[in-house]
Structure 1
Amino acid sequence: MALSQKPAALPVEDNSSPENAHHEPYTTFSSRKRRLIVGLLGTAMLISPLTAPIYLPLLPLLSSHFHTSAQAINLTITTYIIFQALAPLFLASFSDYFGRRPIYLATFALYTVASLGLALNKSSYAALLALRALQSLGASAVLSGSYGTVADICVPAKRGKMLGPVLAAGNVGTCVGPVVGGWVALESGGFYGAFWALVGFGGLMLVALALFVPETARNVVGNGNVKESRWNQPLWDIFQQSWHDRAPEKSKRTGNDNDTARNHGDRANTANTGNPKNPLPRPKPTRSLKFASPLASIRVIFYQDTSLALWLSASYYALWYCIQTSIPPIFQASPYSFNELQPWTTTTKHTAAKIEFTVDKVSGDDLADFPIEQARSRGCAYLLILSFGVMLGYGWSVERHAPVAIPLILQFFQGFLATWFLQCFSALLVDTFPETPSTAATVGNIMRCALSAAAVAALQPLVDVMGKGWFFSLLGLLSGVGGLAAQTALRRWGMG
């Protein structure tokens, strides 16, 4: 498993000991800078969760406007998911080798242009299909890129904590998107307002990322102390640098505390080594002139431990996508008869202590000797069993036309569980492939989207044959019982 080989192990010590002084810090980005990066990426993660759900309340309007069947409009959803899977397959390796920043800027620009095309498209179903594909292409890179960025700037012990806010912010889109789409459809009787809202969001995020997010890829900027190109720096830092260069006298009076970004690496290295007279060396990272084959991501799927983690994250993503796609036909039909808006409104520390493993928060830990599978999956068995019960209840409640409060409450619990599993096992994927985190995140994206596309395509035909109760019971069985088997195998044999 060449892709999952880890860097040369560093001695794992308590970072408070004097012997730790000779270790190079994992990152020179300050805590404030890391919080800014994670905050902006969390907001950027809204792009896909916002774009997909905002579309769902518009399905009946789109079908009527473009004079097509519901199945033809569902094809635009399937197309979106397929491109969401394929795009990172080609972009993630490029991101790992040449940097995250250019990918963020290029894809957000493409997304904004595609959204503008959708807002201006008046009558062409073919254009709707093509522009949704381009919109998906532009929205897809931020997911794998964000995982890579978090791995760039956070030691393993803190990645789960950092990924939490990123995923939580992204999940806001799942809540906000349908409400925005439903409100637009209800108030205007059309769908163009939703697309114009996406144009505004894409343009705003493009400007914010260009202004404030630096390059973090470790083979480009190392731990943050390599400033080989101004293109790797956020525009705001460049503006500040130019301002200080034009006011040398002011710079002298303010002293070293207000030094510019080019000296930040010196201060960070000195502070972390505890030896101001001998700052750490700054080797230029080795970079390849060609990016890895997209087949590298495909190959990762067939690793035994990876396939188990992938199933645990992807199956719940697909399950949740099925629930979301089924909401309009279920709740806008009798006996609920909702309008377009109504359906959408209403561990690591424990494992380390157990095996007497000391966490190194400065240089980062070597996970080759740490049972990371057990740490990430701790307590998941109970939630997998609970998920199976929730899906049984949901399927039969909508089948038997139970009071609307019951399926809505069950949706809430299933959304929580799906988010839990997605975050937990996506973090495990990044831990397993520390040298190519974006490629690892892409593998997760491929599996999630592939399963979701297949599930959405089969949704209506299977519901017609099986009924809602048996269909959602089958989903619960596959995700819950299958997930329990995968989690048990990971905990027992994953480290080997």
Structure 2
Amino acid sequence: MGEKQAAPQPGDHHGADTAAPSPPSSPAPSLPGADEPTQLHTIFDRRQKVVIVFLVATAATFSGFASNIYFPALPTVASDLNVSIELVNLSVTTYLIFQGLAPSVWGPLSDVKGRRIAYCCTFLVFLGACIGLAETKNYATLAALRCLQSAGSASTIAIGSGVIGDITTREERGGFMGIFQAGLLTPTAIGPIIGGALSDAFGWRSVFWFLAIYCGVFLVFLIALLPETLRSVIGNGSRVPSNILARYPLRFYQRTTKVDWSVADVDSSSLGPKKHVDVTGPFRILGTKYATPIVVFVAIYYAVWQMSITAMSSLFKEEYGLSDTHIGLSFIANGVGSMVGTLVTGKILDFDYRRMKKKHEIHIAVPIISTFITGWTSISMVSLTTTYLVDIFPDRGAAASASINLARCLFAAAGTSFIMPMVNSIGVGWAFTVCLGLQLVATLAAGIQWKFAGVWRAEAEKQAVSDGY
């Protein structure tokens, strides 16, 4: 590697694999009360953490862009491919199904093989799918490639959550997770605007050319600037992996960090036995009793949100005669609401009830304002729950994020598949009244989480200690 390596010390199981110099042969006197050496959690300084989080936040925009940029063009796609709007909405459903399932593979893979490998694979899949979608001539190809596109973009959220879990402690994770969430939410606001404008000006296929170009450019920056962070591969960042893809640009970060890690004890606590890729991990996390209630609650709420914004394009075109550009602009409130976000479930439920009470009294401003509130609350709950799951499953951050993604996307896929048939059957008002009822039922799961999850977690931790884990 071209650098002088320190001789292995007693108890050093990694030898030349670590870039940290050996501790002095004569240990320094212990301070009073310092029975155990302090281990450095990570060698990445705050400046470097901001760069890393910015990169993974940008990577997370692809999931939001691929989903939201498509909504304004749904009626145009249906017309151009000569299929019904319900059939085009079905492509949204299949997209959500793969958005839920794909992270269950990519997330555990990134927890074992490394974050950079997983990122590169997912973006290559996404790039190929976007190019294919830009050239598609029929609905069957569109539906199939949307599934592939989803498989490539959805995992950026799970992998990014894993990266943040790697480099942060619980004390600082919330703040960095907030930066990461901005990457998720920005496309919610501007994606439909870009999609609507491109569809009107150059046709709906230009939407996918835009995504392909965006992906290609970002992939270059990702490979050049994002270091490997998986703790089972690099420890606290001081270990030098043998894999070339994982080694660089990690070496640059090791040389430029302002953290004095050369005299700190290397934290090798996460360098345990070699792990295997466990695609069942997200499913087992989902079945954990102190995670299930809140995940179900969020999944139902998220599903209703997806149902409403899926129906928006068709309803706004039919009821108000909006163009694709104007439909895209109508999504601004939804996006801004998502970005502002906090948990105000009671208010949204009351507002939704008043909004849908009488269809003929509704002005277009009312549903637009409502999307602000639904986006606000839905994304806030997803953010809070994702942070919670990463906290309680720190060694499986990507898998934990994948578990909530699995639940919310599958619930949303089910909802978006029947929202328009339900609207056509019983009307807009009654359809969303049913959605409101589902949200009310879901609050019972949130109550169970609030009352019992802490006790269940304590019991699980005691059991793990008694079992020797």
**Cα shift at 1:227:** 1.2
Q: For residue 490 of structure 1, what is the aligned residue in structure 2?
A: 449
Change (3 A) 1:162 1:265: closer
Q: Deviations over 1:409-447 (max 9, x none)?
A: 121122111121111111111122122111111110110
Q: For residue 437 of structure 1, what is the aligned residue in structure 2?
A: 397
Q: For residue 77 of structure 2, what is the aligned residue in structure 1?
A: 62
Change (3 A) 1:20 1:427: farther
Instruction: Confirm or deny that 1:144 pairs with 2:144.
Output: no
Q: Which of residues 183, 187, 192 in structure 1 aligns to 2:205?
A: 192
Q: Which of residues 375, 381, 386 in structure 2 aligns to 1:415?
A: 375
Matched to 1:215, the amino acid is E
Change (3 A) 1:18 1:113: farther
Change (3 A) 1:57 1:100: same
Change (3 A) 1:463 1:209: same
Take 1:482 and 1:23, find their aligned partners in 2: how far apart are those partners? 48
* Structure 2 stretches lacking a partner, 5+ long: 1-31, 331-341, 456-469
DSSP-derived class of the 1:226 partner:
coil
Change (3 A) 1:425 1:195: same
Matched to 2:212, the amino acid is V
Answer yes or no: is the 8 Å Cα contact 2:301–2:442 preserved in 1.
Answer: no
**Cα shift at 1:262:** 4.3
Instruction: Confirm or deny that 1:477 pairs with 2:443.
Output: no
Q: For residue 298 of structure 2, what is the aligned residue in structure 1?
A: 313
Change (3 A) 1:267 1:130: same
Q: Which of residues 36, 39, 45 in structure 1 aligns to 2:54?
A: 39
Matched to 2:77, the amino acid is L
Q: Deviations over 1:132-181 (max 9, x none)?
A: 11111110111110111111111112222111111122111111111111
Matched to 1:492, the amino acid is K
Change (3 A) 1:289 1:169: closer
Answer yes or no: is the 8 Å Cα contact 1:92–1:439 preserved in 2.
Answer: yes
Change (3 A) 1:50 1:83: same
RMSD: 2.3
Instruction: Confirm or deny that 1:391 pairs with 2:375.
Output: no
Answer yes or no: is the 8 Å Cα contact 1:312–1:421 preserved in 2.
Answer: no
**Cα shift at 1:228:** 1.6
Q: For residue 409 of structure 2, what is the aligned residue in structure 1?
A: 449
Answer yes or no: is the 8 Å Cα contact 2:237–2:254 preserved in 1.
Answer: no
Answer yes or no: is the 8 Å Cα contact 1:60–1:70 preserved in 2.
Answer: yes
DSSP-derived class of the 2:290 partner:
helix
* Structure 1 stretches lacking a partner, 5+ long: 1-16, 239-259, 271-275, 347-378
Answer yes or no: is the 8 Å Cα contact 2:85–2:314 preserved in 1.
Answer: no
Take 2:431 and 2:416, find their aligned partners in 1: how far apart are those partners? 12
Instruction: Confirm or deny that 1:85 pairs with 2:100.
Output: yes
Q: For residue 170 of structure 2, what is the aligned residue in structure 1?
A: 156
Normalised to the residue count of structure 1, the TM-score between the two structures is: 0.78
Corresponding residue pairs, total? 411
Q: For residue 358 of structure 1, what is the aligned residue in structure 2?
A: none
**Cα shift at 1:487:** 2.6
DSSP-derived class of the 2:454 partner:
coil
Matched to 1:27, the amino acid is T
Take 2:140 and 2:373, find their aligned partners in 1: how far apart are those partners? 38
Matched to 2:181, the amino acid is L
Take 2:254 and 2:61, find their aligned partners in 1: how far apart are those partners? 31
**Cα shift at 1:105:** 0.9
Answer yes or no: is the 8 Å Cα contact 2:282–2:402 preserved in 1.
Answer: yes
Answer yes or no: is the 8 Å Cα contact 1:224–1:265 preserved in 2.
Answer: no
